[in-house]
C-alpha cells in the first residue's frame, strides 16, 4: 500500500493508534479496513476502474457509514445498528477469537452498510442509466472483489496471525485454500448486497423500501449470529 494523504485513512489510523494504546480489541477489524482502503486508493490511482470518480465516492461514503455507526455506539450503544451492536459487543468479550471479531465487523459493514451505501449513491442516477452504464457500475463494483482477495493474505499475515498463532499453522498446512474460502465468502456476500441494493432502487413505495431494509438487517444479524 502506497502512502496516501486521505482523510478516511487518517481517521482510521488515528483510531487504530488510540485503540492499540488501550488494548481495544476492535483495532483488528479497523486495521483490516485501513489496509483494504489503502489498497483501493492504490487501485484508483492505477486507473483500474472504468469510472474512478464514482468508485471513489462509493469508497468514502462507505467509510462514512462505518464512522457514523461507531459514533452512535460510542455515544449510546443501543442507538447503533443492531448488527454493529453485535460486532462491537462480541469484540469486547475476552474469549472471542480474533478471526471471529474480524468477520463480525466485515459482516456488519458489507451485508448491512454496503447495501445502504450502494442504494444511496445509485438512487439519483439509476433511472437515467442505460443498460450499458448499469453494467459499468456493476463491473466496477465487482472489481473490488479482486482487491479484497489480494488483501486477505496480508491481513492474515500482519493482523490475524500475531494474535492467533494457530492461524499460521493452518496457513502453512492449507496454503492459499483458507484465503480462497474467505474470498469466496466475501464475494458471495457482495453479490447479495448488489441484488438487495437493486431491489431498493427499483422499489419506490416507502413502506416496501422499509421492509427491504428490515430484511437486509435481519439477514445480516442472522449471519452475525452464525459467526458468533
> What is the Cα–Cα distance from 113 to 117, expressed in whole angstroms?
6
- 163 pLDDT band, cuts 50/70/90, is low
Quick check: 17 pLDDT over 80?
yes
Burial of 131 (0-12, 13-18, 19+ CB in 10 A): exposed
Helix, strand, coil % (nearest 5) of the chain? 80, 0, 20
> What is the Cα–Cα distance from 135 to 137, expressed in whole angstroms?
5
Q: What is the pLDDT of residue 169?
A: 39
Q: What is the pLDDT of residue 58?
A: 98
Mean pLDDT of the chain: 89
> Is residue 100 a contact partner of residue 227, using CB atoms and an 8 Å limit?
yes
Q: Where are the domains of the chain?
A: 7-227
Three cell numbers written together for 220? 445480516
Work out the percent of the chain whose per-residue pLDDT is above 90: 75
Work out the percent of the chain whose per-residue pLDDT is above 70: 86
- Is the pLDDT higher at 178 or at 141? 141
Quick check: 102 pLDDT over 50?
yes
CB neighbourhood size of 184 (10 A)? 12
> What is the Cα–Cα distance from 210 to 214, expressed in whole angstroms?
6
- Is the pLDDT higher at 157 or at 17? 17
- Is the pLDDT higher at 55 or at 154? 55
Among 37-41, 82-86, 154-158, which stretch is predicted with the lowest mean pLDDT? 154-158
Closest to 115 measured CA to CA, from 41, 53, 203: 203
Length of the chain: 228
> Residue written as cell 488501550?
22
Amino acid at each position: 500500500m502506497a502512502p496516501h494523504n486521505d482523510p478516511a485513512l487518517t481517521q482510521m489510523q488515528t483510531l487504530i493508534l488510540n485503540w492499540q494504546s488501550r488494548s481495544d480489541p476492535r483495532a483488528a477489524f479497523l486495521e483490516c479496513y485501513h489496509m483494504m482502503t489503502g489498497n483501493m486508493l492504490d487501485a484508483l490511482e492505477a486507473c483500474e476502474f472504468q469510472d474512478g470518480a464514482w468508485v471513489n465516492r462509493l469508497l468514502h461514503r462507505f467509510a462514512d457509514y462505518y464512522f457514523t455507526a461507531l459514533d452512535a455506539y460510542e455515544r449510546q450503544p443501543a442507538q447503533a445498528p443492531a448488527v454493529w451492536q453485535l460486532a462491537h459487543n462480541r469484540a469486547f468479550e475476552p474469549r472471542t477469537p480474533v478471526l471471529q471479531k474480524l468477520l463480525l465487523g466485515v459482516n456488519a459493514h458489507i451485508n448491512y452498510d454496503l447495501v445502504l451505501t450502494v442504494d444511496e449513491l445509485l438512487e439519483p442516477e439509476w433511472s437515467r442509466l442505460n443498460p450499458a452504464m448499469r453494467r459499468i457500475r456493476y463491473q466496477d463494483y465487482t472489481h473490488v472483489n479482486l482487491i479484497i482477495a489480494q488483501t486477505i493474505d496480508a491481513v492474515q499475515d500482519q493482523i490475524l496471525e500475531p494474535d492467533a498463532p494457530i492461524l499460521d499453522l493452518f496457513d502453512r498446512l492449507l496454503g492459499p485454500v483458507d484465503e480462497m474460502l474467505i474470498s469466496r465468502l466475501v464475494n458471495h456476500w457482495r453479490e447479495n448486497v448488489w441484488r438487495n441494493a437493486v431491489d431498493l432502487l427499483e422499489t419506490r413505495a416507502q413502506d416496501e423500501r422499509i421492509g427491504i431494509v428490515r430484511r437486509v438487517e435481519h439477514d445480516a444479524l442472522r449471519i452475525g449470529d452464525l459467526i458468533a
